[in-house]
Amino acid sequence: MGDHMPDDSHENVPSRQRRRFEGISSRAYEHPADRSALVALRKLSGFDTVFKALSGLLPERSLRLLFLSDSVRVSDAQFAHLNDMLRDACYILDLEKVPPMYVNQDPQPNAMCIGLDEPIIVVTTGLVELLDEEEMRAVVGHEVGHALSGHSVYRTILLFLTSLALRVAWIPLGNLAIMAIVTALREWFRKSELSADRAGLLVGQDLQASMRGLMKIAGGNHLHEMNVDAFLAQAEEYEAGGDLRDSVLKILNVMPRSHPFTTVRAAELKKWAESRDYQRIMDGHYPRRGEDGDTKVTDSFRESAASYASDVRSSKDPLMKLVSDIAGGAGDLGGRVRRGFGGFATGSPKDQPRGDGPDDESPNGSA
């Protein structure tokens, strides 16, 4: 597999005409919450110590040898259709060096982009067997988006901190500090998935294929039994339904996960696809990598703050509505909270239901 991209006439570029984004900066598609969470992560006490320790503990060569020895490397000779998709995704996003890509035997549909010095893309056989060509193209674009954004480094740190926690217990931070870093990494990574979903759409340029892929990740290979509109309606019901108790449970449910809930990802991607920002990119108006050095951190903070404020104002979640009302100076706050919890907060202990809280372990998302 070559390292550099083909020109327009290369046989690996599909016949279906799609726009190429020459010199595009990852800032064009990154979710504002992704950037702000990453800035917050870097400021977290002890993160630099963990980062430096793991960089020395987990050399890049070892990681590459692991996949080289126990997975199938994508090339012109192996999984050639995936190799075409990979090269094409790098061509569309103008990523000059094509990352190595491996197929790993695992029935769980999943994909990841990891690596400390250079990114490595890994997809599972469960994912390859689940998705059709256009759906898979969006996933490959998703992972190339991670590579372009430089997410692989932090994803690798998260992977090893969660799976090898006992082996890094000697780091002089204490378990609570390490778990604080893991929690912050998970919060950032959930936001980074929204960015990478956007990159996948820019590569595939087929919103329906992106929607189908997310539905299949949620419900399996039963496309004839599923409906995009009904799937998106679930996200609407999830966001707006219930009272303040449900809002708290949503937060508790998502905290152990590395990925956002699939319906939420679908709704977020559809909203972005219908936005002026997406249309401007498709029209060729987007920030270039050559301008990245001139970007101010304060600008990113302003964009993130504006995005969060807009999300709070437009959210139908009961907790977000309460936050919006507080910011707007709404009166009778105590009454609003009591009504939001449906009287649960003021009832006597004997009247309160038992055993209906979330499980200690919530399933992690994938792909």
Per-residue pLDDT of the chain (367 residues; tens, 9 = 90+): 444 444 443 444 455 789 999 999 999 999 888 877 777 776 666 666 666 666 666 556 667 777 888 899 999 999 999 999 999 999 999 998 999 999 999 999 999 998 877 899 999 999 999 999 999 999 999 999 999 998 888 888 777 776 555 455 555 555 566 667 777 777 788 889 999 999 999 999 999 999 999 999 999 998 899 999 999 998 888 776 555 454 455 454 555 555 678 888 999 999 999 999 999 999 999 999 988 775 554 555 555 555 544 554 554 544 344 444 444 444 454 454 444 445 444 444 444 444 444 333 333 445 6
The full set of domain ranges for the chain reads: 26-314
Predicted TM-score of the model (pTM): 0.72
| Residue 94 to residue 113: CA distance in whole angstroms | 17
- Helix, strand, coil percentages in the chain from 3-state DSSP, rounded to 5: 60, 5, 35
> What are the distances in angstroms from CA 5 to CA 97, 98, 99, 123, 288?
7, 7, 11, 21, 18
- 30 tagged catalytic: no
Provide φ and ψ at 68, rounded to 5°: -60, -35
The one-letter amino acid code at 67 reads F
The catalytically annotated residue of 30, 134, 135, 143 is 143
